[in-house]
Amino acid sequence: MGADGEWRVVIGTRIDHQGAAILYKSKDFRSWNRSLSPFPLSNITTFWECPEFYPVISDGKSGLDTSVISVQGKDIKHVLKASFNDQDYYILGKYDPESDRYDVDADFMKSKEWLRYDYGKFYASKSFYDGEKKRRILWSWVSESDTAPDAIEKGWSGLQTIPRSIWLSKNEDQLVQWPVQELEKLRTRKVHFKNKRLKGRSMIEISGITASQADVEITFRVSNLKHAEVLSAEVVDPQILCTQKNATTDGKFGPFGLLVLASKNLTEHTAVFFRVFRIANSFQVLMCADPSRSSLKPFIDKPIYGAFLALDPRYAKISLRTLIDHSIVESFGGEGLACITSRVYPVLAVGEQAHLYAFNNGTKSLSISSLSAWSMKKAQIV
């Protein structure tokens, strides 16, 4: 509701065969009038599903109620999110409630400016404002990657992600996500170590926890980046780059990360990893999820996913948090700057037969600054 006392709602639709969102207004919640101010269109799809429009605030992780337009001394932007082409895209901009004008920082029409909530299997998300803890919570639908007969045999299909807190980054140019703090109440057995050297083409097993249902936080430190692989300055699709340079393709700094839901002999495993590239006088960190060897089961869709992290590895450590829950792997790179969700169906790496490894398939050594991993209890749904 705006200061004018009118309710506002955004509807996903199609205009001239293009995906779009339309803003409607009402004073009584019964009679609705379409706003004359156009919202952005997208010619890369013919229809938008599950749109959202909500404010985010600068300087901190606090969320805002959807009706908040301004906060004294704070910069506010509005998120416009839409689901299409099997992904959840969003843009940031400034909203004027008097004119209903929305001036965007980027454009859905320009693919290089698309931002995503999650670069993996993640669709039709919705968020809400938690007024008690002053935060915005996001969750999403995650479909299956196996076959329809598999779903019939299981008796269910699809699930929700772990709820995530979502806020505006320090640079105010993207959103950041992190699992809600309540998840930590499910942590039980823990393993932890610091400052461990990880030589090139080596790995170490993280034992002492239940690897099939775990929460893992690991931070890497790299040095002597002048030896990093050179990446063309041209615009590169991170998913294509991750596919070309998968977890078994060695480089200099990378691939390094985690092998999750792995069988003892690595016949099955899902890799979540990083690579560091040099572009002119700067560096780029690539985050990938590679489930191509996740299962011996036939007819499984095993796409490799990728995203770039908005961090400079010369000054910032490269961190990864991965939540593992039998058939779903949710990963958060750079403290939530990029997220990738995968569905996997191991037949060997199941239950107590699942293993967890930190690995470095690059030729250059690096350091694990810190690693903490926990077994996770089952959630109590009340």
Residue 178 lies in a domain: no
Which residue range is the domain that position 16 belongs to? 1-116
**pLDDT by residue (tens digit) across 196-214?**
999 999 999 999 999 999 9
Q: 349 and 212 in contact (C-beta within 8 Å)?
A: yes
> Residue 347: which CATH number?
2.60.120.560
Q: Say yes or no: 109 and 192 in one domain.
A: no
Element housing 87 (H / E): strand 87-96
Q: Say yes or no: 200 and 327 in one domain.
A: yes
Residue 50 lies in a domain: yes
- Provide mean pLDDT across the span 183-200: 97
Residue 78: pLDDT above 60? Answer: yes
pLDDT at site 339: 98
Running DSSP on this structure, what letter comes out for residue 71?
Answer: B
pLDDT at site 108: 65
- The region of weakest confidence among 95-109, 121-135, 165-179 is 95-109
Reduced to 3 states (helix: H, G, I; strand: E, B; else coil), residue 35 is coil
Q: Say yes or no: 190 and 104 in one domain.
A: no
Counting residues of the chain whose pLDDT is more than 70, the rounded percentage is 97
User: Residue 146's pLDDT band (boundaries 50, 70, 90)?
Assistant: very high
Residue 234: pLDDT above 90? Answer: no
Q: Which of 61-75, 137-151, 230-244 has the highest mean pLDDT?
A: 137-151
What's the mean per-residue pLDDT of the chain? 93
Q: Residue 127's closest CA among 119, 136, 115?
A: 136
The residue among 116, 140, 156 that closes a domain is 116
Q: Say yes or no: 240 and 352 in one domain.
A: yes
pLDDT at site 293: 98
Q: Say yes or no: 191 and 338 in one domain.
A: yes
Q: 36 and 29 in contact (C-beta within 8 Å)?
A: no
Q: Say yes or no: 112 and 189 in one domain.
A: no
Peptide bond into 255 cis (omega under 30): yes
Q: Say yes or no: 110 and 257 in one domain.
A: no
Residue 238: pLDDT above 90? Answer: yes
Q: Say yes or no: 195 and 335 in one domain.
A: yes
pLDDT at site 42: 76
The residue among 73, 95, 116 that closes a domain is 116
pLDDT at site 380: 83
pTM over 0.85, yes/no: yes
Q: Say yes or no: 362 and 259 in one domain.
A: yes
pLDDT at site 235: 61
Q: Say yes or no: 197 and 289 in one domain.
A: yes
pLDDT at site 39: 82
Q: 342 and 270 in contact (C-beta within 8 Å)?
A: yes
Residue 219 lies in a domain: yes
C-alpha to C-alpha distances, 78 to 90, 283, 296, 349, nearest whole angstrom: 10, 30, 44, 43
Total structural domains in the chain? 2
